[in-house]
Structure 1
Amino acid sequence: MSDKVKSHFESTPNAEGYYGRFGGNHYPEELRSALEELTTCYQELRQSPEFQSTLKKAQIGFQGRPTPIHYLENISKQVGGAQIFVKREDLNHTGAHKINHCVGFGLLAKRMGKTKLIAETGAGQHGLALASAAAYFGLECEVHMGEVDISKQSSNVGKMQLLGARVVPVKTGQSALKDASDSAFNAYAEQHEHALYAIGSAIGPHPFPMIVRDFQGIVGREAREQFTSLSNGSLPEHVVACVAGGSNAMGIYTGFIDDPEVVLHAVEPLGISEELGKHAATLSYGRPGTLHGAESIVIQNYDGTPASVSSIASGLAYPGVGPEIAMLYEAGRLSIGRSLDKEVVDTFFRMAKFEGIIPALESAHALAFAIRLAAERPSSERILVNLSGRGDKDVDYVLEHYKPADFV
């Protein structure tokens, strides 16, 4: 990694875990010692050549890294504007970028002497990745998942159980991702002496956003090297990622964040309308608040409580964003895009029919925006999209509710 790429990450977060005015540690006192232990251990281990060597071995042999960059030739020709490329994180073992930080957390837990991993999941990709990492490292695994998502993502639930994980149904609130996160944090508070919370995105109290970002940074580092290699040293004009918590976004942004000539696009789920409760577009409609132990931007009711949210993609149905995403947005470094559920489904079918790739509904948000963006930009420009996951988990749900003939 060049010094230029390092600069942002050398300065954030600060010692208290803040990204500008966002972040920090706002969890109960009984968890403070556990989080301080985690911070200390992680800061020591990230400098360890042995730790990094073991991590790299798992990334290559277990995960299947590096993942390639692929040119969407057919869709790019259809659009007739900018050229669209994708970073194929869907080709990771378990089918998404989530395995990047799950393997990291698994190795971290082993080095800390923990025997169990605890996490939340929405679409099930994080839960599946964590269950796989737990099996790989010989750890117990407990995954909290909203009942709505358990029903919607039944194939991933079965895979988690096959891998030995205990899936805990969450019935409170909307029975979705935010509620699963609440439940998982409570379980971590009770079990922190022998368990590590492997959070599912770049959210939560310090040091979780930093740890997830660092482990996901391999996406951006690879993407930068691969793209410059195939384009005679030049960078893409646009980098696009879907955003909820921000793990896949921060992963690919890592490679380009200190290059002001590269526009970073954060694509939010607009759901079915701009009405409160009908979308999960936090940066567009949220305001500063505290959620899951960190100060960030949160979609709120009038009384300041987190509002209900909606998205066709379970992994994006979250009323907040990670603190680093919030900082980048406030600093003007992010260009905000939005995709409606209908556009997402259209892109899901379009990618399958014309590119032979079935994307996750989460990733289809970024792809839908990139297709619109390409139509507005000249053919000399290049758009790089983080195709963060594959859509195996979504096929049954989509075909049950939509007909391909109505879209493509």
Structure 2
Amino acid sequence: MKILTVKLLLLLSAVFCLQTTTAQTFIQAYADVVNQTSQTNVTANLTEYEALGVKQRGSAALQNTLNWLKTKYQSYGYTASQIVEDSYTYTYSGSPVTCKNVVVTKIGTLYPNTYVIVCGHYDSIVGTGTNDNGSGVVTILEVARLLQSVPTEYSVKFINFSGEEDGLRGSQHYVTDVVNATNPKMDIRLVFNIDEVGGRAGMANNSITCERDTGNPTTNNAASNTMTQELMNCVSLYSPLTPVLASAYASDYMTFENNNEIITGFFETNETPYAHTVNDLLVNMDPVYNFKVAKAAVGATLHFAKASVAALSQEDFQADFQISFFPNPAKGKLNINLGVLTNPNYTFSVVDINGKKVIAETFQNARQIETLDVSHLSSGVYLGILESGETRVTKKIVIE
């Protein structure tokens, strides 16, 4: 369990703030989204999460929680192609155990190949884990709900890891078998981890601990310092909470930190004494505090992913079902992002300036992103046309 005195945390926070300054201003459009954070949703989701039981490795409760998460994301407007079950197997007490991470991907408008990862674990070890880490789960759900229809320059992955309580198994698998196995390696702008943010019943829960990288390798520490200062600024700008600085450890961001990624995170300042016990229950938490943390997390994610409040209107963004073709200009390969189109069957055509169809491809049960070879096309301006049923989306494509 993470233990640091509040007095020491406040001292560290003060010292760090003297050393680092980051100019951030209040953005009303961000606040308008933040203010849609729902206390009702937070409390209801905590109640539902608790009712799902003890979410140990390989258990029915863990699988039921995964199904519950997928249903939640779908209710927010994410499509089946955006939601991936990331399965992996490890050995526990001499027996193989299979678990799954839940990965939801929202493609960015300007930097679709660079990701902000908002993550936290959904498994528990003894009790229901309503604070550790149902509180993080419901916070991530609120962020995902509110950003679903908001265009962001950077892509966002909302990841619910399993296996955290068995030694960060889910996040380690993801880093090894997904992040590093992607060719080229997945480009991560930031990992924002949210773990145990439910507060303590009967206490004045008015601050949130913001965690930075102080470990090895040290080459990513300075960037983590900067991002964590920005996180602290977002807390002050978009929530009633006071940010407190601490060091990151013992949660899913550590596997990313060891991979030289830039990390930051949230953790409750008044730490519960009930983590990893049968008393880790909603009755021992402060759901109003959890709601305030969710507001801070929404504001921070809007900032880190650079919500496009001016560059792209939400009306245009939604009218095209968030479909995009990238990179643009393209050289060699063109990616087709299905966006939130629910029908995964479509045709994609490329038309030259003379109206000649130079590419025509049909995709059945398409993945969120399909890749097309355009290396044979001459440099110039083309039209990309995606057609599915009565839906037709046309966008200009430049081939280099």
What TM-score comes out, normalization by structure 1 length? Answer: 0.26
Higher strand share: 2
Higher helix share: 1
Q: Which has the larger radius of gyration?
A: 2
Task: Flag the structure with more relative contact order, 1 or 2, with Cα contacts below 8 A and sequence separation at least 6.
Answer: 1
